[in-house]
Amino acid sequence: MSDQKEWPWPEWLDAVLAAPQHHQLIFENDRVRVLNTVIPAGDTVPVHTHRWPAVYYTIERSHFIRRDAEGRILFDSRNAPPMPGASFLESLPPHSVENVGDTPIRLISFEMKE
């Protein structure tokens, strides 16, 4: 897990700071941070990071494209098997997310600090 000294990206790229219109801090302490994420249909989340590994619980799904900081496609949900309601992802370097579906994306992430 990433600790403050090892994280190579600036603090201002943190999801809550870089994309506050999409990421809302629900709870935080020294062990966990919980975010509510909403991406309206057709919207693109600006480039941001997720410093800690997290469990993502999807409330409402839609197709999306995740791109790296240079705009290269990392993942396109339209070309992947259906995702489970909950999933685990390691820390995410700078990326953007575009909702290319017809409904909002709504999820809760449980970021695990150490």
pLDDT per residue over 77-107, tens digit each?
999 998 889 999 999 999 999 999 999 999 9
What pLDDT, on the 0 to 100 scale, is given for residue 84? 84
Q: Domain 11-112 classified CATH 2.60.120.10?
A: yes
Q: How far apart are CA 7 and CA 19, in angstroms?
A: 19
* Owner of token pair 């919207």: 43
At residue 5 the predicted structure's pLDDT band, cuts being 50, 70 and 90, is: low
Residue 10 has pLDDT above 80, yes or no: yes
pLDDT in tens, 11-45: 999 999 999 999 999 999 999 999 999 999 999 99
Residues 48, 109: contact at Cβ < 8 Å?
A: no
Task: Report domain extents, the chain.
Answer: 11-112
Q: How far apart are CA 10 and CA 18, in angstroms?
A: 10
